[in-house]
Amino acid sequence: MEYTPQGLEQVLDEVSADTLMQHVTTIARWVRLSGTPAEAEAFAYIESVARGVGLEVTRYAPVCLVSLPLSASLVVVKSNESIPCITHSFSASTESGGIEAELVYVGNAREADYAATSARGKIALAEGLATPEKAVLAERHGVAGMIHISGEHLHEMIISPVWGSPTAETIHLLPTRPHVSIDRKAGDHLKRLLESGPVRVRLTTSVDTGWRPLPLLIADLPAPDGDGSFVLFSGHVDSWHYGAMDNGSANALMLEVARILSRHREDLRRSVRFAFWSGHSHARYATSTWYADHAWDELWERCVAHVNIDSPGAINATVLSEAPTMAETHDFAREVIRSLTGQELHYHRIGRLGDQSFWGTGIPSLFCSISEQGEAQEEGDIGALIGGSRARRGGLGWWWHTTEDTVDKIDPANLVRDTRVLLATVLGLATAPVLPFRQSRAVEEIRDALADLATVTGAELIGLAALRQECDLLLNAARRLDARCEQPVDAQTARRLNRCSMRVSRELIPVNYTARGPFEQDLALPTKPLPGLQRLHDLSRLQPADPGYYPLLHSLQRERNRVLHALRSARRHIEETLDTSA
């Protein structure tokens, strides 16, 4: 059934602060490193609660590549001064004596920074968090090791660019250099030493990286008279340290949503599938990736949306206007947040983060973290890097990925607020007669990306004009579909429109969000719309005489064909549906 505003408010009023905080307090008793006994205790608790509210639980134990940091040391050789540091998931381990090399400052560790200095064979000192992008560039430029200036606090990080467990084709991309992080005070000290002349440092790291089974829990709430379709609602259980906010509060939120939805299961048109992941923090989203592979057919045929939640309910988390969505899910998410909080959700394209393992499967996605700090708590762009927008720089709080992520960082009122938002979101997706997505928004994003690419030298070589023409035809069709979806319809027409919306998503999301398509995972690096065509910028910097010019040109032509096929197929799905539903 579709809820009236009054009926929805009655359901939302069932959210209990006491129950939420009981779950948070229980889960945050354990340091939940992926694949450890303590994490298994948390999964056992979650399973017990899920079964207790009537969910159907299935457990899996996929074998994944997991990387747990153990220890690190950093010493200034001349003075034998020891500098506190931590190493990171998927950093290389050194021999027991470490590595010794000259220190070089590389600024923000971007291509331009490396071009301005000689870093090969040296230990690079860089501003900002340890990230996959920096690890990739460190490999490319042949540094011996890397020191990241993490900000005022040391933040645990994972630096592998490989999404999920590596395959035979991606395992060579794992980092081979040791990485550590130091705080701002130590970073300033090392920079002052460099101003006085050459500095040599000794770097030692120990990281336990290996294949091991990880827990994965699926808990289904079936719709009594549904058509087999379902909403996927997910969050990770593993944590750095006690992880009360990240991600104990999200686990609590999901369990509370499950409790309340189970009391209203007779109202569901679609089932709700709760997924509790491991390997988010220490295996680069390994179990959600495994699930995307092993449940691929079911996800493709039946999953209408993926809702993710990470780090809700923090103290001082007053900003809900920056939550990420896809273009096609944004209008729905904006209305939910506006109606419950009065805040206006800005469009923030969802990034390569937060167990977004289902883009290749073409599943519309929304949310990860939904609330953030009102003011920046780190210097420079650190607030943005840990989740905040660059406009607000609020982020998830200075305690994110530190030993200080404890229960005192959770505000019960904020957690209730965020739970109400997620409950309304999942309930809306599970009960709406017609899926509340605006496919024209996705097509507009693709249109704008094509317009930008058309200005790049070489666009005419791959026939980009034909893509733009097809996109205009699709946009007209998508607007007609959106208008039809907003009209009252009978049950049979609703089913046709929903099936059409799913088919359009299956065509458009893989080309708008991935370069590798439905059956592979792109790297854990920042992306832009139509990522497979973005390499046109690389082509524009080459000449026909360059060895890489024609291979890249052929690759781009194939990608152009993939995008054209997706646009045309999406248009045909819409036209056939609207003709049938007329």
SS3 sequence, 20-71? HHHHHHHHCCCCCCCCCHHHHHHHHHHHHHHHHCCCEEEEECCEEEEEEEEE
Position 3 confidence tier, pLDDT thresholds 50, 70, 90 = confident
The pTM of the full predicted model, rounded to 2 decimals, is 0.95
Q: Is residue 505 situated within a structural domain? A: yes
Q: How far apart are CA 302 and CA 503, in angstroms?
A: 11
| 151 shares a domain with 275 | no
* CA gap 379, 544 in Å, rounded: 44
Same domain, 128 and 233: no
Q: What is the pLDDT of residue 105?
A: 98
Tokens of 191: 């920079």
pLDDT band at 388 (very low <50, low <70, confident <90, very high): very low
What CATH code is carried by the domain that includes residue 123? 3.50.30.30
Tell me the CATH number at 227.
Answer: 3.40.630.10
On whether residue 207 sits in a domain, the answer given is yes
- The CATH code of the domain that includes 474 is 1.20.930
Q: Tell me: do 84 and 207 sit in the same domain.
A: yes
Q: Are residues 457 and 318 located together in one domain of the fold?
A: no
Looking at residues 304-310, what average pLDDT do you find?
98
Domain termination residue (choose one: 187, 211, 235): 211
Tokens of 173: 């991309």
Band (pLDDT 50/70/90 cuts) for residue 2 is confident
Q: Which of 417, 58, 369 is nearest to 256 (CA)?
A: 417
- Residue pair 188/83 in contact (Cβ under 8 Å)? The answer is no
Domain finish residue from 173, 189, 211 = 211
Listed residues 184, 211, 238: the one ending a domain: 211
Number of structural domains found in the chain: 3
Does 88 lie in the same domain as 154? yes
In a domain, 357, yes or no: no
Angle (CA) 375 158 213, round 5°: 130
Q: Is the dihedral of CA 421, 425, 430, 432 positive or negative?
A: positive
**Residue 12 resides in a domain:** yes
pLDDT of residue 395: 87
Asked if 538 and 412 sit in the same domain, the reply is: no
Same domain assignment for residues 74 and 201: yes
How much is the average pLDDT of 92-100?
97
580 falls in which pLDDT band (50, 70, 90)? confident
Q: What is the pLDDT of residues 4-21, one digit of tens each?
A: 888 899 999 999 999 999
On whether both 164 and 57 belong to a single domain, the answer is no
Q: Measure the CA–CA gap between 85 and 182, rounded to whole angstroms.
A: 5
Strand ranges of the sheet holding 86-87, from the earlier edge strand across to the other edge: 81-83, 63-76, 200-213, 99-105, 123-127, 145-149, 179-182, 86-87
The predicted model gives 22-31 an average pLDDT of 98
Higher pLDDT, 327 or 374: 327
Q: Cβ–Cβ contacts within 10 Å for residue 550, how many?
A: 12
Indicate whether 390 belongs to any domain.
no
In this model, does residue 531 exceed pLDDT 50?
A: yes
What pLDDT score does 377 carry? 53
User: How many C-beta neighbours within 10 Å does residue 508 have?
Assistant: 27
CB atoms within 10 A of CB 540: 12
- Domain match, 56 and 93 both: no
Determine the Cα–Cα distance for residues 480 and 487; give it in Å rounded to an integer.
11
Instruction: Give me the residues paired with residue 220 across strands.
Output: 56, 273
- The verdict on residue 385 lying in a domain is no
Share of the chain above pLDDT 70, in %: 96
Res 450 pLDDT > 70: yes
Closest among 425, 255, 289 to 361, alpha carbons compared: 289
Mean pLDDT, the chain, whole residue set? 95
Taking alpha carbons only, the member of 141, 33, 162 closest to residue 90 is 162
| Domain membership flag for residue 329 | no
Strand order in the sheet with 303-308: 56-60, 216-221, 271-277, 230-236, 303-308, 365-366
Cβ 405 vs Cβ 241: under 8 Å: yes
E strands of 214-293, at which residues?
216-221, 230-236, 271-277
Check residue 6 and give its pLDDT: 85
Same domain, yes or no: 160 and 51: no
Residue 281, in any domain of the structure:
yes
Same domain, 11 and 132: no
Examine the domain organization and report whether 85 and 104 are in the same domain. yes
Q: Which phi and psi angles does 435 have, rounded to 5°?
A: -55, 130
Name the residue range of residue 485's domain: 439-581
Q: What is the pLDDT of residues 174-220, one digit of tens each?
A: 999 999 999 999 999 999 999 999 999 999 999 999 999 999 999 99
246-267 per-position pLDDT tens digit: 999 999 999 999 999 999 999 9
Predicted pLDDT of residue 391: 38
